[in-house]
Amino acid sequence: MSDNNEFGLTLDGLDRSDQLVPPGRWAVPATAMPQLSWGDLATVPGPGGRGWVIDEMTIAEPVEGANGEAGYLLVPMGESVAARRRGEENGEGMVAVMPRWEATQNIYVYRDESISGRRDALPEAAPAMLERVGSSMFEPPMLRPRPAVELPSFIGRRMRGVIEGKWVWCVPITEPYEAGDDINVDVVRMSTWPSVIYGQDVPTFTIPAHRLFTY
């Protein structure tokens, strides 16, 4: 996965760097997408088919089901990172983890909405909970950006901010702190977060706290 595309997703549309607020994200059926590849984030049904596990599973590989049904093997994002790390340390490549098979028709992937023109502020919104009330529980909700400053803490959360002129996924490694007249947060790219967990030095970036968003 590249630095500009931490989750292996293709983000079509306008250059996002000119937007002061990141775009919303729509859930797209995997059946409507080209074949997904290793590392893509997947959204899958919750227990008993109720609810959703959003962006916590990663694609391992396409595998047909017992009846020839198209599907994928999935692993939790954390297990995927740990397995890759153990494999690198042991010189064995990927170390096996317990995968979950899911039919392609049950998988969704999130994509940025298309936005016409520059967005300088969040649209008028209902309370955060009501924003996700949908007409059906059988499709994942649209995800809308929320200012990270509304959260009780920053460290370790998946967020979106502008690094080197591009909207990217990142993870804060500090809580907000005063820097002159600004209140800043230090972050790392999402793609380097696993290295941080294992104590490796990676590039860090400073972003004003009010310029970070979650979904």
Instruction: For residue 105, give the nearest of 77, 134, 65 by alpha carbon.
Output: 65
Helix (H) / strand (E) element for 73: namely strand 71-76
Model confidence pLDDT, tens digit, residues 152-166: 999 999 999 999 888
* Three-class secondary structure of residue 168 per DSSP: strand
Output the pLDDT for position 77. 76
Contacts with 70 (C-beta within 8 Å, 6 or more apart), sequence order: 62, 64, 103, 104, 105
Output the pLDDT for position 90. 55
Q: Which residue ranges make up each domain of the chain? A: 1-24+114-215, 26-112
Model confidence pLDDT, tens digit, residues 25-63: 999 999 999 999 888 899 999 888 888 888 888 888 899
